Every structure is written in structure tokens, then in C-alpha cells.
Amino acid sequence: MAIPAQTRERLATECRQIMARYPQRRSALLPMLHLVQSEEGYVSPDGIALCAELLDLTAAEVAAVATFYTQFKRHPNGEYTVGVCTNTLCAVMGGDAIYDSLSEHLGVGHDETTEDGKITLERIECNAACDYAPVVMVNWEFFDNQTPASAREVTDRLRAGEDVAPTRGAAKVCTFKEISRVLAGFPDGRANEGVGAGPATLEGVRLAERNGWKAPSQDGDGTQSGPSEEK
């Protein structure tokens, strides 16, 4: 389905706002794709054509970018993307079991969406939160130290329309379209909500403070001084 003319004009206006942030306008392509995705729930052929037209690129060039990055979807995505980390540490800690449990519970496989359109399940290589393994992300919000049972509960609550709070970050999980708009560079005013770094992340800092350890500093002659000898 084509983007309605009024919606297309609004998107074009906002795309130009994004383009104005960059000295070379083609650098605006990634956030522009997020913006298109925030409207349609995926990067449609019409969205690709709009970006290509505004940036004076070919549709093939835009499509090449949209198909390279997994955050851009080329088919309609669910309201919530549930990504289960199955990389080494999370897998050892139970990530594979969580993924298998969710796949059976939801009746979908990787990059597939439940019939109600609520959940798209993904197998993720790394969620960059190894200190809280196994980790599940919902629209890129962290759910730490998960189990098959807790992950199923999260998806059930999302499908029921409840507000669900991540372990760290915003007070509640936004929809896929809402978070895509934030990724396009249009803040939702929620950047300072919740906890950013939890106890496990900060343990190294606390250990250094207790022992008086300091990072090497750059001396005037260009050499680096060694760590403190304090115990």
C-alpha cells in the first residue's frame, strides 16, 4: 500500500530536518530509514523511494543499506521485537533454552511475528550486556537475568496490553514504531528515566575505588604512567 500523500509530505519535511544535521546529506540515510520505519512498522518500497528521492540516491543504493542492518525490517514487524541473546555467555547461562521456550510458547521462529501482530521473535548474536546474562531485549530495552518462565511472562503481558518495565532504562517499553522514531533522532523526553547501569556493571568501578586503582594517565612527554601502587 502506498504512503498517503499527506503522510508522505510530513515524512519528507521531517527527513529534511534530519538531513540538515549533516554536512553531507547522504549521511542522513540511517535515521531517515528509522523514521520511515516509525510510520509503517517496516522499511517499505515507498519508504525506500522517498529516501532515495530526497538524498539523490538510487533505490538500489538505499535498499542495499536497508537490507544490511538487521534493525531495518523489510516486512511488517510486530509491535514488540523480542530479541533473545544466544551468543556464547548468554547461551551457556540459558539463552538457547529461553529462545526455544519462547519459540514454542509463541508459535513462531526467528524473525517471525505472532498472529496477533504483537511479538516478533529474534535470535540475537549479542545484546552487549554480558554482565547480566542471559539477556532478552524488547525493542532494545534490557530484561536482565532472564529464565524461560520470566521471558514467557514478559511476552504474555505485552500481548495483553499491559505496561511492562524493563530491568534498566525507560519506565516502560515503547512500541517498535515509537522507538524507531527515537532512533531517527526525535527524542521522546524519556532519556533520563530509570537506571542506566546496574550493580554488576559498576562492580569494576567500585573495586577500583576500594583499591585506589587509577587508569594510566598521559604524561607531558607523551609516555603513560603506570597504575597506582596503592593497595
3-class SS string, 36-102: HHHHHCCCCHHHHHHHHHHHCCCHHHHHHHHHHCCCCCCCCCCCEEEEEECCHHHHHHCHHHHHHHH
Give pLDDT, residue 216: 86
Nearest Cα to Cα of residue 119 among 93, 94, 155: 155
**Numbered ranges of CATH 3.40.30.10 in the chain:** 80-175
**Rounded CA gap, 26 and 21, in Å?**
11
**Numbered ranges of CATH 1.10.10 in the chain:** 5-68
C-alpha 15, offset from chain centre: 21
What values do phi and psi take at 184, rounded to 5?
-75, -10
**Strand ranges across the sheet with 136-138:** 112-113, 119-124, 80-85, 136-138, 141-143
Give pLDDT, residue 89: 93
Give pLDDT, residue 220: 52
Distances, alpha carbon 110 to alpha carbons 14, 113, 121, 129, in Å = 32, 9, 6, 21
Helix (H, G, I), strand (E, B) or coil at 121: strand
Give pLDDT, residue 82: 98
SS3 content of the chain, % helix, strand, coil (to 5): 45, 10, 45
pLDDT along the chain (231 residues), means of 10: 88 97 96 97 96 97 96 96 95 96 98 97 92 95 96 98 93 95 93 80 90 81 48 42
Does the 80-175 domain belong in CATH 3.10.590.10?
no
Distances, alpha carbon 19 to alpha carbons 4, 9, 181, 200, in Å = 22, 15, 15, 39
Fold assignment, 5-68: Arc Repressor Mutant, subunit A (1.10.10)
**Rounded CA gap, 172 and 64, in Å?**
33
